[in-house]
Amino acid sequence: MPSIKTVTTAYSYGTPVAFLLAIALTQFVGPWALLVFLAYGMVGPFLLACPWCGLVTSGRVWTNRKGRERRSPFYHLPNPDYCSRCALDFRTHSFSAQFD
């Protein structure tokens, strides 16, 4: 079973391919190609989540001065090797791993 990092990297590299495919399909099926591209873009946040804490692998969490957890995709650039909430190592674990 591939690691979480491998799957998310393949998904991110597939985005331009899906975009070009949607443009090519627009000539034949019209606005339905846009629906296919949007479906590809929306499946990631629902399927590519950390198996321990459920944080989307592209999202990041940081704690402010008051100790509250904040989600921010703009600050604290993500480390693609670890989950920012529970520190799960994405290089060694897979999505199908069972945790206690």
pLDDT at 32: 78
Contacts of 82 (CB under 8 A, 6+ apart): 88, 89, 90
Kindly report, residue by residue over 10-46, the tens digit of the pLDDT.
887 888 888 888 888 888 877 777 887 788 777 776 7
Question: Is 81:5 a contact under the CB 8 Å cutoff?
Answer: yes
Q: Is the pTM of this model over 0.85?
A: no
Phi–psi pair at 63, nearest 5 degrees: -110, 130
Beta-carbon-side half-sphere exposure of residue 58 (alpha carbons within 13 Å): 14
Question: Is 81:6 a contact under the CB 8 Å cutoff?
Answer: no
**Distances in Å between the alpha carbon of 53 and those of 21, 23, 87?**
34, 36, 10
